[in-house]
Amino acid sequence: MRLFLAVNLPVALRARIHADIEPMRRACPGVAWVHPEHLHFTLKFLGEVSNGASTALQKTVGVAVQVRKRFTIILRGMGAFPNFRRPRVVWIGVKDDRSLTTLARSVEEACVSLGFQPEVRPFGAHLTVGRVKRELNVLALQCLERAGFGMHNEYVLDVQSVDLMQSELRVGGPSYTMLASLPFQDIT
């Protein structure tokens, strides 16, 4: 199984973000825009994992996150990795990412304790909304940058669990299935 740990967005928030970036999708068809049901914050990508390791992950990560309290983050601002001149990933940022970064660190430590490789890069809180698969022409790049800098919407996300997700790669794009939701202590 190909697994990752994530913070998922509620359906209504996914729909709102998807609707808000509609002008961008129309203006920049060269970007592979993320389907609304796939919008999430990846905390840790695990890759291929056995069924037994999946069970251990649920237990260990569950214990690591159950001591946390729910928190709220504000999604705001749009950018691109590495930048809008050579975009590979188009994203929405997080206004103050300390709580999400701390959560990612807890998840990382739990995974490393189970023998998973530690992440080399520091966690950078971002919501991927598009991927650039091929080089864009100058006009498309300018259009994407203008649209990105023109995006001033803010979104509030109440974070109250970490989800263990399975990703199946398919011809039409990935399919995600939630295997387990690992709630924080103040959620029943």
Q: For position 187, what pLDDT does the model report? A: 54
Rounded CA-CA distance 112/115 in Å is 5
Q: Does residue 188 carry a pLDDT above 70?
A: no
3-state SS assignment for residue 94: strand
Of the candidates 42, 55, 37, 31, the one whose C-alpha atom is nearest the C-alpha of residue 5 is: 42
- Can you read off the two tokens belonging to residue 63? 């214990």
Q: For position 145, what pLDDT does the model report? A: 85
Residues known to be catalytic: 40, 126
Determine if residue 96 is left, alpha or beta; phi over 0 gives left, psi from -120 to 50 gives alpha, anything else beta: beta
For tokens 């490393």, name the residue: 112
The mean pLDDT value for 159-179 works out to 93
Q: Does residue 87 carry a pLDDT above 90?
A: yes
Burial 120-131 (b: 16+ CB within 10 A, else e): eeebebbbbbbe
Q: For position 143, what pLDDT does the model report? A: 83
Domains detected in the chain: 2-183 (3.90.1140.10)
Q: For position 157, what pLDDT does the model report? A: 97
Burial class (CB in 10 A: 0-12, 13-18, 19+), 117: exposed
3-state SS assignment for residue 143: helix
pLDDT band of residue 18 (cuts 50, 70, 90) is very high
The mean pLDDT value for 147-175 works out to 90
The pTM assigned to this predicted structure is 0.92
Q: Does residue 146 carry a pLDDT above 90?
A: no
Rounded CA-CA distance 7/89 in Å is 19
Q: Does residue 34 carry a pLDDT above 90?
A: yes
More confident residue, 81 or 141: 81
Of the candidates 127, 98, 99, 118, the one whose C-alpha atom is nearest the C-alpha of residue 44 is: 118
